[in-house]
Structure 1
Amino acid sequence: MTVERITSWLNLDSGDRFFIFYGTNTSDTFCTPDLLLQDIEQVLHRYLQSQGYQRILFYSGVEKLYFLDKVSRDRCLPQTQSNNNSAPCQELRFSGSLGRKRGLLGRQTPAPTVAPQPTTSNAPTRLQDVNILPIFETVMQDINQKSVIIFTNTEDLGQFANHRELFGRFVNWLRLPPQNCNLCIFISHHETIAKLQEYCDRIGFTLLSNYIRNRDNSTTQSLNLVRLSSPDIQEINNLQQYFRLQEQKTLVWKNLNQLSQWISAENQSLKTWYHRFKIVPEISLTQAKAKRWFVADISTQPALERLNQMIGLSSVKTLISQQIPQLIVQQQRQKQGQQTDPPRLHLIFTGNPGTGKTTVAGLIGEIYRDLGLLKRGHVREVAKQDLVAGYIGQTPIETNEVIDQALDGVLFIDEAYTLSQGGNNDFGQEAIDTLLKRMEDERHRLAVIIAGYPDNINEFLESNPGLKRRLPTTIIFEDYTPSELLAIFQQRLSRLQCSMTPELELALVSLFTDLYRRRDQNFGNAGVVENLFDKMDQLRSQRVIQQNLEPLQEPFQLQDLPPEYRQESRKNEQVLQELLQQLDRLTGLDSVKQNIKEIVNEQLANQQLREAGISIHEGQQTRHLLFTGNPGTGKTTVARLIGQIFKALGLLEKGHFIEANRSNLVAGYIGQTTLKTKEVIESALDGVLFIDEAYALSRSDAGQDFGKEAIDTLVPMMENERDRLIVILAGYTLEMQGFMNANSGIKSRIGNIIEFPDYTGEELHQICLGMGQQGGWIVTPEVSARLLIIFRDMYENRGRNFGNGREVRNLYEKMVQRLKSRIVREHLSGEGMRTFRLEDIPN
């Protein structure tokens, strides 16, 4: 009868000479399949006897040398004493089967010469260490009797008399030939391997210390280092049956197997569960929940079903559902011997904070456990500081310790890329190297999940080729949409059996939409909702107490929304006002400015109505625009401002500006125009796509109408992406009117048509003076008066294709050119070098 968490590590055919068990669980109680409660010594003794070991010795600093069976004791007797049981100088005693130490190897105390002491004269004394060491040497060298020496408290070795000789013997025993099957087992109660190594260094046990330090690079098969784990599912089942049969405790069979799985995943000692089982009237899921046995919430619903019921995460659910069948097939192939390696369970999670990565990691562990890929399925969550030590040699030890704790479950490393960001003086690379080796060596017992921001994770993978090979699967956790953020808020309400008013729900829709569109790579997702809910719950609690309302039934109201979130929901009004002021500073364009302000006011009104809880059903609004007018009237400048204004309003996430024309959208052969147009549109998502001279898309090329293909691609995307895209079509007034009439699909998707009138003579004059001022030139009154006459005449005699601002730019640049020519020709200096004269104005 074996206890798996101990005996599974004793691979007696591997050639290991020394076995080292460490960790707090070495002091645990163990429940055998035949329902005996034993300590580690008894479990080892029983198992080793079943494996044919004839002589099993135990040593501790308190008990010295002792035995748990008479055969082992007798086989350690000197030959003369084993043939003469009445020999007075030696006595061997052994411990009973229940662990009460009833005998030791000792010697009789000689009778005192002063006065007889009949009650103590025959009492044995323990052998001293100096007498025990030859016994150890004889036992280990004897190949005729399979023997084991078990040091039950490694911490005592530092107090062993002449311990340096003992440590030297250990080295010699390690060199014994393979036909010698004798073993040494060390039991250490140090919690971590790092503390065990530190202790070995301190007492001079360099053999074990060096092995721990070089564990990853060691090729020896003579040492086996084992961190003793908490009880597995089978041992928990054994304990439950012990209470049923020995303590007459009732077991509620429904969900009992799942209960054992959850208990095993808690990583608590068997002693803990013994005391918990002892005090409950029955062992059941009901009692487990009532007594709060588990850190996290537990559910009898399968983990995969719970994953599929989580809010959002559609791509996550799809990928995991696709991966499961492949893992099952790989597992079956391995069982049939068709493939030698177990399935690789490691994953990459990328995404912003608050997208459920940690929660899903826990579910992944359960899913793998339910599929039989992992025994426990628990999650050990760590960060860089848990893996990296501060000095040379300790990082591999720390990392191995953490991995040992995660075996049979999931090791979840958040922000794993920080391991490669410390530079040459950082030990993060040691942690990566250790991790890579264990990920491969323990792939049948370990799933490693690394998580973090996408860009950082990509850099991390590039830092070491081995990472890509071992982490082939990436799962992207997308940000929660506004509707999903609202659903998370409603979920919190549901847990507390609370409700909210329709007015508040409308305001939250606006708020979450705003927060979503302004999010960056640090967007907190569900964390944002949790923080908001906690603040609202606090304000609601104050309100219901002050107004003497029903604390449990009173719904959440609009007034419970914190002031800072009301301000957030209205956007950054200061930024919006600054953008509108930029618009106002543009020369002319009064009708354009008025149109844009009306659009802005409409959006602000919609926002205020939602915040007030007033629902207005106007259907889906389209925000695409048509700019008509001659060139040089400021269409491109205003289009750039539109993107930033709509971002400030919360209607666009980025507000960036992409300018395109026919050549950017239309390709020269069939099928490529669609791809080219789609690529340009996708680059403009969350911003503005400005298509100048859009009517050119209707122009045919030698009978090949690829422009129509671009229009056919643009129209549906204007509809499908209208929440993420503003398309502004621009061009001459008459041509754009014809273009719209010929393309009803586009015409129906334009929300506003804004006509850009030609600049008047006075406005052209102001534009020119502004260019001069911006360039640092001086315009004299005479020059200014002459320019005004020229621009008025230019405006009055303009043609259909009048260039407006472009005409001003051309004249201004010629004036600058003439002035610079005079500087050289007339050797100007001082202010004269910057002053325009009438002769600088071209005819």
Structure 2
Amino acid sequence: MTVERVTAGLNLEAGDRFIILYGANTSDQFCTPELLLRDIEWVLHRYLKSQGYQRILFFDGHRKLYFLDRESRDRCLPRRASTNPLPPKNSEMMVKPGPLGRKKRLLPNRSEPVAPTPAVSVASPPQAPSLMRDITVIPYFHTAMVEMEQLSAIVFSYAEGLANFANQQELFGRIIEWSRLPANNRNRCIFIFHYENRNGLEEFCRRHRFTYLENLLLNREQAGQSLNICRLGAPIADEIEYLIHYFRLDKEKPVDWGTIQLLSRWIAAENRQLNYWYDCFAIAKEISLAEARKQKWLSGNVSSKPGLERLQKMIGLQSVKEVVKQRAEVLKVENIRQQQGLFTEPPRLHLVFKGNPGTGKTTVARLIGEIYRDLGLLRRGHVVEVARQDLVAGYLGQTAMKTDSVIDSAVDGVLFIDEAYNLNQGPNDSFGLETINTLLKRMEDDKHRLAVIIAGYPDRISEFINSNPGLERRFRKEVLFEDYKPEELMEIFHQQISQIQGVIAPQLETALINLFTRLYEERDDKFGNAGLVQNLFQSMDELRAQRIAQNNLDFLHEPLQLDDLPAKEREISQQGVKDKDNLQQLRQKLDNMIGLLNVKQRVNELINTERANQRLKAEGYDSFSTLETRHLLFLGNPGTGKTTVARIVGEIFKALGLLKKGHFVEVGYSDLVAEYVGQTAPKIKKVIESALDGVLFIDEAYSLAESSFGLEAIDTLVPMMENQRHRLVVILAGYSLEMENFLNANSGISSRINDQIEFPDYNGTELFRIFMELCTQNKIKCPDNVANKLRETFNRMYATRNRKFGNGREVRNFYERMVRQWKNRISREHLTGEAMLTFAISDIPSLN
């Protein structure tokens, strides 16, 4: 007739003199396998009796000393000369109702040696000493604990009341004496506290100088031992099932037989007291899954299918499904071996979920709780979802208490910490560190009863784990949640439509496919995945409702139309996906640049190589299309078009599907190097994060090797060029000679460069063409005589150039000087009409 949640953590043969039960559930009702509703005193009494205890004393500050059975009472009463003891003449009888009927207490008005008395007739009710002062009960306690002829237990049913015990010093001194009793003395002392968490219990002992018990708690905590120091949880599935049958038989409540076990498991996962469910069942018309849904008893989606089966039917998440299935199989074997004594350690249940928002991490965490429960690894399998604010308090010292309290609520289930890296906000975050240390300790202490899942963005969660050796040791299994692909996003949208029994118009279907494809290709780490789809659907549903109202359409049968797509999303959907036309336009843009014949040839070779890779992959020859490094080196003097070509390369790689965005981030020495040691690496990482899925263009990259801070930048850049090569193209640019020396001195850089492209200086003819383009853009005419003179000038400019020749920049500067002289001539000669927009030979400046 024991109740598992009370007795599961108890072992009377473990040698512990003192046993502690605590938690708010100590005030709950308990339902036995015999369908009896009883309190914790009754449950403990029956358990102790079943373990052979003959004399069981109960004490609280209000009722003082009392008993729940006559045998215990009689074994505490003083022995009389008569074999049929009677109550003393001068005594008062206190009548108290209880689970076994009405109990009487008796206070003898004499002081005789304490000795056990013979058992009396079952027909007489149990009597107990009454109206006792605190000091007079201590001898009863001491006799019960010291005598070994009869197995005895003392239960302090409201241990907090000991704060008001009249003679604390003597009682606490006796407790220390009892702790020193020989090992063959099996008498036990049980304390029932009502504090919800262990921190409150320790604070009580500290405040009231219950030093022995405080030290016992601290020593056990440091040793990671929880046996016989038990926090009572909410009822498990078996006890809920007993309560359902109690209502079925005692209250004649209709019950759905087919779902009793499933409903019991779901109710147990809600982590509520039995008293709560008693009230729910009392007002319900029946006890069934249907009624549970109707009355909103359950916080999650109820399904009769196992968690592992439901995971397999989720949209996408193929890698997650494989990892979880394999993990479940491994844990099942480990659990069996542990039960057989082949493993001394219970299976490690903790997991790391890496993924962007909306990838199903929270949903899968709830299923993990069910899967672990179905495997017998967790008794309840409920999930407690928290973030930093749920664990960290406002003052140092309070955080551990707050964290412990949250963990207590998750015991026998899953603690899910989303964006767990927020717990560590830097070396000065003492509150976060206190939370992490408390969490690590509890993960070890409760490893057989707790699964912790931490989740967040992949890079940040990895950095968080690597920041603490304790986290590294405990979180060894990672599950990667990939972003949903366009077809999966479309499937999620259809799922939303089916929930309202809606229909999608064909035009909208096509537009949505284009939209999701485009959004997927340009996604970053803030990509919303399923959340994005849900938000889009809600917006479209609202626009549909407005359209139906305005046009007086059939609300139930009118499909979602293209007009219901918000303007921003409609524009994106019309852009379509990368295609040959876009690539052709970019090639034309490159061809239209003046000169650079070698550069154009090399870029076209890059394009042809990537298109060949795609064709080979499509034909199944994956070995020829493995991920190559695409970082490039642009060599040449200033003004030779390196920056412009780098921008076009980014757009080309995007059109080829190699980069999601293809955006362009241009930086120099000052953008990468900080002023103080240790600041450069974070600065580099921030720049690279801004360039992910695009092109990072580092001009005059050789300057990084000219200082110790620059070398720190190189040391940070090199591994990131390797690790992020699937999402980043780095283009290093600079003078040919300086860049050659730079590469020779930095083998890490040179080994990660796929190709180098030489940008030659523009010759005289090309310089002239650049000048004439500037004239065309500004609608200034250049007569033949002026053009011929300019050709001579630019040929001379090319012939007399040095290593620092500015090429296109030289032409722009020359053009701007010529424009100033032209404007002076306009003012000086009062030009009008067409003459105002025509260059003259006199406007041509001399070469510097």
Instruction: Within 5 Å, give how 1:308-347 maps onto structure 2.
Output: 308-347=312-351
- Relative to 1, partners in 2 of residues 1:146 and 1:684: Cα closer, same or farther, differing over 3 Å? closer
Distance 2:102 2:229 in 1: 28
Answering whether residue 505 of structure 2 is matched by residue 501 of structure 1, we say: yes
Answering whether residue 231 of structure 2 is matched by residue 227 of structure 1, we say: yes
- Relative to 1, partners in 2 of residues 1:15 and 1:401: Cα closer, same or farther, differing over 3 Å? farther
Instruction: Within 5 Å, give how 1:28-43 maps onto structure 2.
Output: 28-43=28-43
Out of 763, 769, 776, which is 1:763 matched to?
Answer: 769
Answering whether residue 457 of structure 2 is matched by residue 450 of structure 1, we say: no
Distance 1:682 1:185 in 2: 59
Distance 2:808 2:292 in 1: 84
Q: Check the 8 A contact 1:514/1:650 in 2, yes or no.
A: no
Question: What's the secondary structure of 1:103's corresponding residue?
Answer: strand
- CA deviations on 1:799-839 (whole Å, 9 max, x unpaired) are xxxx9x999749979x99xxxxxxxxxxxxxxxxxxx9968
Instruction: Within 5 Å, give how 1:209-608 maps onto structure 2.
Output: 209=214, 211-212=216-217, 216-218=221-223, 224-424=228-428, 426-566=430-570, 589=593
Distance 1:296 1:459 in 2: 32
Superposition deviation, residue 181 in structure 1? 2.2
Out of 148, 152, 157, which is 1:147 matched to?
Answer: 152
Distance 2:375 2:149 in 1: 47
Superposition deviation, residue 643 in structure 1? 4.8
Superposition deviation, residue 243 in structure 1? 3.0
Partner of 1:653: 660
- Relative to 1, partners in 2 of residues 1:229 and 1:45: Cα closer, same or farther, differing over 3 Å? same
Superposition deviation, residue 220 in structure 1? 8.1
Out of 627, 647, 650, which is 1:641 matched to?
Answer: 647
Instruction: Within 5 Å, give how 1:714-729 maps onto structure 2.
Output: none
Q: Which amino acid aligns with 1:141?
A: V
Distance 2:764 2:290 in 1: 80
Out of 780, 791, 795, which is 2:794 matched to?
Answer: 791
- Relative to 1, partners in 2 of residues 1:728 and 1:495: Cα closer, same or farther, differing over 3 Å? farther
Q: Which amino acid aligns with 1:23?
A: G
Superposition deviation, residue 417 in structure 1? 2.4
- CA deviations on 1:688-745 (whole Å, 9 max, x unpaired) are 79999xxxxxxxxxxxxxxxxxxxxxxxxxxxxxxxxxx999999xxxxxxxxxxxxx
Question: What's the secondary structure of 1:104's corresponding residue?
Answer: strand
Distance 1:389 1:272 in 2: 29
Q: Which amino acid aligns with 1:486?
A: M
Distance 1:423 1:807 in 2: 50
- Relative to 1, partners in 2 of residues 1:33 and 1:766: Cα closer, same or farther, differing over 3 Å? same
Partner of 2:86: 85
- Relative to 1, partners in 2 of residues 1:584 and 1:214: Cα closer, same or farther, differing over 3 Å? farther
Q: Check the 8 A contact 1:689/1:728 in 2, yes or no.
A: no
Alpha carbon RMSD of aligned pairs, Å?
4.7
Superposition deviation, residue 463 in structure 1? 2.4
Partner of 2:681: none
Partner of 1:25: 25
Q: Check the 8 A contact 2:423/2:435 in 1, yes or no.
A: yes
- Relative to 1, partners in 2 of residues 1:682 and 1:470: Cα closer, same or farther, differing over 3 Å? closer
- CA deviations on 1:458-492 (whole Å, 9 max, x unpaired) are 22222232322322211111122232222222211
Superposition deviation, residue 80 in structure 1? 4.0
Distance 1:290 1:429 in 2: 44
Partner of 2:61: 61
Distance 1:71 1:458 in 2: 63
Answering whether residue 107 of structure 2 is matched by residue 106 of structure 1, we say: yes
Superposition deviation, residue 318 in structure 1? 1.6
Distance 1:141 1:414 in 2: 53
Q: Check the 8 A contact 1:767/1:808 in 2, yes or no.
A: no
Q: Which amino acid aligns with 1:48?
A: L
- Relative to 1, partners in 2 of residues 1:49 and 1:383: Cα closer, same or farther, differing over 3 Å? same
Distance 1:124 1:557 in 2: 83
Superposition deviation, residue 386 in structure 1? 3.3
Question: What's the secondary structure of 2:20's corresponding residue?
Answer: strand
Answering whether residue 55 of structure 2 is matched by residue 48 of structure 1, we say: no
Partner of 1:15: 15
Question: What's the secondary structure of 2:104's corresponding residue?
Answer: coil
Q: Check the 8 A contact 2:95/2:103 in 1, yes or no.
A: yes
Q: Check the 8 A contact 1:212/1:397 in 2, yes or no.
A: no
Structure 2 residues without counterparts, runs of 5 or longer: 111-127, 576-585, 601-635, 663-693, 698-719, 734-753, 776-785, 815-843
- CA deviations on 1:421-461 (whole Å, 9 max, x unpaired) are 34245143343334334333433322221111222222222
Q: Which amino acid aligns with 2:544?
A: R
- CA deviations on 1:170-220 (whole Å, 9 max, x unpaired) are 344334332332222222233333344444444443444455566531578
Q: Check the 8 A contact 2:88/2:108 in 1, yes or no.
A: no
Question: What's the secondary structure of 2:479's corresponding residue?
Answer: strand
Superposition deviation, residue 766 in structure 1? 6.8
- CA deviations on 1:237-259 (whole Å, 9 max, x unpaired) are 22233333333444333233222
Q: Check the 8 A contact 2:205/2:213 in 1, yes or no.
A: yes
Question: What's the secondary structure of 2:228's corresponding residue?
Answer: strand
- Relative to 1, partners in 2 of residues 1:398 and 1:760: Cα closer, same or farther, differing over 3 Å? closer
Distance 2:652 2:592 in 1: 22
- Relative to 1, partners in 2 of residues 1:690 and 1:70: Cα closer, same or farther, differing over 3 Å? closer
- Relative to 1, partners in 2 of residues 1:555 and 1:192: Cα closer, same or farther, differing over 3 Å? farther
Superposition deviation, residue 504 in structure 1? 2.7
Q: Check the 8 A contact 1:30/1:37 in 2, yes or no.
A: yes
Distance 1:730 1:160 in 2: 89
Partner of 1:187: 192
Distance 2:652 2:131 in 1: 89
Distance 1:81 1:387 in 2: 64
Superposition deviation, residue 391 in structure 1? 4.4
Distance 2:225 2:412 in 1: 25
Distance 2:470 2:295 in 1: 45
Distance 2:440 2:722 in 1: 42
Distance 1:325 1:757 in 2: 71
- CA deviations on 1:294-333 (whole Å, 9 max, x unpaired) are 1111111221121111122111112112222222222333
Structure 1 residues without counterparts, runs of 5 or longer: 110-122, 572-581, 597-630, 660-678, 693-726, 733-755, 770-782, 817-835
Distance 2:721 2:60 in 1: 77
Q: Which amino acid aligns with 1:482?
A: P
Question: What's the secondary structure of 1:251's corresponding residue?
Answer: coil
Distance 2:809 2:411 in 1: 78
Distance 1:168 1:218 in 2: 25
Superposition deviation, residue 76 in structure 1? 1.6
- Relative to 1, partners in 2 of residues 1:52 and 1:811: Cα closer, same or farther, differing over 3 Å? closer
Distance 2:591 2:236 in 1: 79
Percent identical among aligned pairs is 49
- Relative to 1, partners in 2 of residues 1:356 and 1:80: Cα closer, same or farther, differing over 3 Å? same
Distance 1:67 1:327 in 2: 46
Distance 1:235 1:396 in 2: 32
